[in-house]
Structure 1
Amino acid sequence: MNLPKVITDLVNAQNSFDSTAYADCFSENAVVFDEGKTHNGRVDIQQWIDESNKKYKSVMKPLQYAENGTASVLTAECSGTFPGSPITLQFHFDIADGQIQHLKVTG
């Protein structure tokens, strides 16, 4: 599977629980929607993923990737210490200038 560098970097950061490297994949003003909550900006995103890593220890295994212009969807198996693990989630990205501008996580 051929993933854009920023998504490969995001998966690697997630799988090594590196919240700083994860947040660095996003633009300064990026927005993340996950579990019914909105996280605005790189600092908020780093705090969110750090808390999530500590709580769930989630790792991602990419299964499928599709893109249409700046919009793309990564389907990944996610496993960790959360109920129902593993689950398959879709990560809906908007990418510009090599950084994630918007991410929405759906089941």
Structure 2
Amino acid sequence: MNLPKMITELVKAQNKFDSGAYANCFTENAVVFDEGKTHNGKTEIKNWIDKANKEYRAMMKPLDYNETENILSTEISGTFPGSPIVLKYHFQLSDGYIKSLRITS
């Protein structure tokens, strides 16, 4: 699977539970939409993923990538009810970084 560099870096950071490296995959004013909440900017994104990592210990296993629509289908496993699940990560990229991420089931 041929993923853009920053999406590959995001998956690596998630699987190492490295919140700082995860947040560094985003532009300064990036937006993340997950579970009905919006996280604006790198600091909020770092705080959100840090909390999620501590609570769920989620690991990402990429399954498929739609290059046309920038959608990554991934199996997520961790310490949450119903694990593992398949989620879709809808990306918007800007200058090689993630500008927007919307996570859906």
* Alignment TM class, shorter chain as reference: over 0.9
Deviations, residues 15-47 of structure 1 (Å, cap 9, x unaligned): 000000000000000000001100000000000
What displacement does 1:5 show? 0.5
Instruction: Please give the alpha-carbon distance, in whole angstroms, between the structure 2 residues aligned to 1:76 and 1:105.
Output: 10
Aligned to 2:59: 59
Instruction: Please give the alpha-carbon distance, in whole angstroms, between the structure 2 residues aligned to 1:99 and 1:29.
Output: 11
What displacement does 1:96 show? 1.2
Instruction: Please give the alpha-carbon distance, in whole angstroms, between the structure 2 residues aligned to 1:5 and 1:64.
Output: 15
Instruction: Please give the alpha-carbon distance, in whole angstroms, between the structure 2 residues aligned to 1:8 and 1:20.
Output: 15
What displacement does 1:84 show? 0.2
Instruction: Please give the alpha-carbon distance, in whole angstroms, between the structure 1 residues aligned to 2:78 and 2:33.
Output: 20
Instruction: Please give the alpha-carbon distance, in whole angstroms, between the structure 1 residues aligned to 2:30 and 2:45.
Output: 8
Matched to 1:95, the amino acid is L
Structure 2 regions of 5+ residues with no counterpart?
Answer: none
Aligned to 1:84: 82
What displacement does 1:101 show? 0.3
Aligned to 2:32: 32
> What number of residue pairs does the alignment pair up?
105
What displacement does 1:59 show? 0.4
Deviations, residues 44-78 of structure 1 (Å, cap 9, x unaligned): 0000000000000000000000122xx40000000
Instruction: Please give the alpha-carbon distance, in whole angstroms, between the structure 2 residues aligned to 1:35 and 1:54.
Output: 17
Q: How does 1:1-107 map to 2 (within 5 A)?
A: 1-68=1-68, 71-107=69-105
Structure 1 moving runs of 4+ over 6 Å: none
Give % identity. 63
Where 2:103 maps in the other structure, the secondary structure is strand
Structure 1 regions of 5+ residues with no counterpart?
Answer: none
